[in-house]
Amino acid sequence: MERRKRLLELASEYDFLIIEDDPYSLILYEPIDVAPLKSMDAEGRVIYLSTFSKILSPGLRLGWVVADDSFTEKFVLAKQGMDLCTSPLLQYITYTALKRKVIQENLTKIRALYKTKRDKMLEALDTYFPEGCKWTMPIGGLFIFAWVPERVNTKELIQDCIKKYRIAYVPGQSFFVNGSGANTMRLNFSYPAMDEIEEGIKRLGQAIKEKL
Ligand SMILES: *Cc1c(COP(=O)(O)O)cnc(C)c1O
């Protein structure tokens, strides 16, 4: 919360805008005492984004923006030029899902389910990953971020993983602005079934050990 407040102060001091990309705050596994930047935005500097991709269905490609009209009017113009606006049918499906509380009820279910899966993956990482690895303990979202030993390049490792081990992850380098992170990976725990989580991490652990 302190960092968030400081960020808003800096935005004001140096006159910049903030894009708050927040697809995960509805999928939290532990309570946290943090408010969205947008809720503290006295100067209209925050452009808040979220999505139905993680709480209803990814294929809908439907999200929302909270920002001053001066921004959203421009977004609508630009988007209209790109795709003649978001499908009204998809918007209506989502509207109905909200009205019938499908999303709200689903959230309760997925929070419990994903938390169990997160814990399963954390346990598997402890068991199967070699010395010299570390990973995050996420309190929300769908991913664990992991660091493997420096000499393993995860962009190269993924080739073996796909062909030989039939598993996949997202190489982490793309998440670093300075091109570092060649030994990192993003692991998804929401999609695979419980037994696939264990088997997948076991194979991934083997693939890493092979490179050491
Ligand atoms: C899923 C996601 C989005 C939005 O996804 P769409 O399918 O394009 O709505 C945006 N930011 C992050 C960090 C995400 O994980």
Could you state, in order of their start, the residue ranges of all structural domains in the chain? 2-100, 113-211
Which residue's CA is minimally distant from atom 2 of ligand 1? Answer: 23
Atom index in ligand 1 nearest the CA of residue 141 equals 15
Strands 134-135 and 170-171: unpaired
Compare 58 and 40 and report the one with higher pLDDT: 40
pLDDT over 90 (residue 59): no
- Ligand 1 first shell, C-beta below 6 A: 21, 23, 51, 53-54, 58, 61, 63
Per residue in 5-41, pLDDT (tens digit) is 999 999 999 999 999 999 999 999 998 888 999 999 9
Of all atoms in ligand 1, which is nearest to the CA of residue 52? Answer: 9
**Confidence tier at 125 by pLDDT (50, 70, 90):** very high
Q: What angle do CA 36, 11, 37 make, to 5 degrees?
A: 0
Cβ contact 188:143 at 8 Å: yes
Architecture of domain 113-211: Alpha-Beta Complex (3.90)
Closest atom of ligand 1 relative to the 51 alpha carbon: 9
pLDDT-derived band at 154 (thresholds 50, 70, 90) equals very high
Whole-structure pTM over 0.75, yes or no?
Answer: yes
Among protein residues, the one whose CA lies closest to atom 12 of ligand 1: 23
Cα of 61 from ligand 1 centre, angstroms: 9
Distance of CA 87 to the CA centre of its chain: 24
Angle value at C-alpha 34, between 28 and 35, nearest 5 degrees: 105
Express as a percent the part of the chain with pLDDT over 90. 95
Q: Contact at 8 Å (CB) between 167 and 200? A: yes
Dihedral angle over CA of 93, 20, 23, 125, nearest 10: 170
Strand ranges of the sheet holding 46-51, from the earlier edge strand across to the other edge: 18-21, 46-51, 63-66
Tens digits of per-residue pLDDT, 155-209? 999 999 999 999 999 999 999 999 999 999 999 999 999 999 999 999 999 999 9
CB 48 within 8 A of CB 65: yes
β strands within the chain, DSSP E? 18-21, 46-51, 63-66, 134-135, 143-147, 170-171, 184-188
How far is the centre of ligand 1, averaged over its atoms, from the C-alpha of 48 (Å)?
A: 13
Q: 2-100 sits in which CATH class?
A: alpha beta
| 132 CA distance to ligand 1 middle (Å) | 31
Residue closest to 41 by CA, chosen among 71, 62, 61, 75: 71
Average pLDDT, rounded, for the chain: 96
Q: Structure tokens of 124?
A: 């598997």
Mutation pick for ligand 1 pocket among 27, 54, 189 (CB with most ligand atoms within 8 Å): 54
Q: Which residues of 159-171 are buried (b: 16+ CB within 10 A; e: fewer)?
A: eebeeebebebbb
